[in-house]
Amino acid sequence: MNFRLFDAPLREPSQFVGFAGNRIDRQSENRADDAVEKALGERSARLMLMHGGRLYLKLDDGKFDPWFEAAESQAFEVSLDGGVLLGLSESGPVLAVPAGIEPENLPETVKAIDYRSVYMQGLIDEAAAGALAQGAALLAWHASHAFCSKCGNRSEMRAGGYRRHCPACGTDHFPRTDPVAIMLTATREKCLLGRGRHFGPGMYSALAGFIEPGETIEAAVRR
């Protein structure tokens, strides 16, 4: 294959992976400590509400809508202090916020659906699924990293949710990401697939595994 560095493909290969359609401008250069508060003050702000691994979706005329206005979100016992700013969409700031209300107490018009089902059933568009991945990862990190791993004191959210700061020892903590290599070993005629014990009948998958610290993508694939 003739590969030239500057012949950009129409669609990057990683765009074919699930949850990869995020189009939010992350505005990482503008993440002040009051970024969430400011974004919530904008009337165009849109929120994704999450609770216990599920996304809350409005159901209207058979269509699912993952976006709530700030005022509208109050009914779902949201913790705005625990919200994270995902960035700017074409229509305004986008946030992910933990909702306190239990799924069984939701009104008829709102459904609580686990992230995997939201994606597998195509309930929201690719851009929203990308935002869901970003928000879910950040909220899960905050939920499990409330305390400083160096001194044990409670840490505080900073930079719109992209950092936690420990006021006791001054250490900054950053969200974890988990790089994974997904690979397809192929000849012109054949390719190697795997099958998990839990897979449904006839289901096969490309091989994948976590990339370890100090390892390149290619080295992880070979291992």
Give 95 or 148: the residue with its C-beta nearer to Zn ion. Answer: 148
Give least dist CB 150 to Zn ion, A.
5
Q: What is the per-residue DSSP string for 107-172?
A: -TTEEEEEHHHHHHTT-S-HHHHHHHHHHHHHHHHHHH--B-TTT-PBPEEEGGGTEEE-TTT--E
Residue span 167-186 as binding mask against Zn ion, x where in contact by CB under 5 A, dash where not: -xx-x---------------
Interaction of residue 193 with Zn ion, rule CB under 5 A: no
Strands 191-192 and 207-210: unpaired
For 12, 59, 72, 107, 198, the CA distances from 180, given in Å and listed in that order, are: 17, 34, 37, 38, 20
**What is the footprint of Zn ion within residues 61-120 (CB under 5 A)?**
none
- Out of 63, 150, 154, 176, point to the residue binding Zn ion (CB under 5 A): 150
Give 151 or 217: the residue with its C-beta nearer to Zn ion. Answer: 151
- Out of 45, 95, 131, 148, point to the residue binding Zn ion (CB under 5 A): 148
Cα–Cα dist 66/83, whole Å: 16
Give 27 or 171: the residue with its C-beta nearer to Zn ion. Answer: 171
Q: Which residues would be at the binding site for Zn ion (CB under 5 A)?
A: 148, 150-151, 166, 168-169, 171
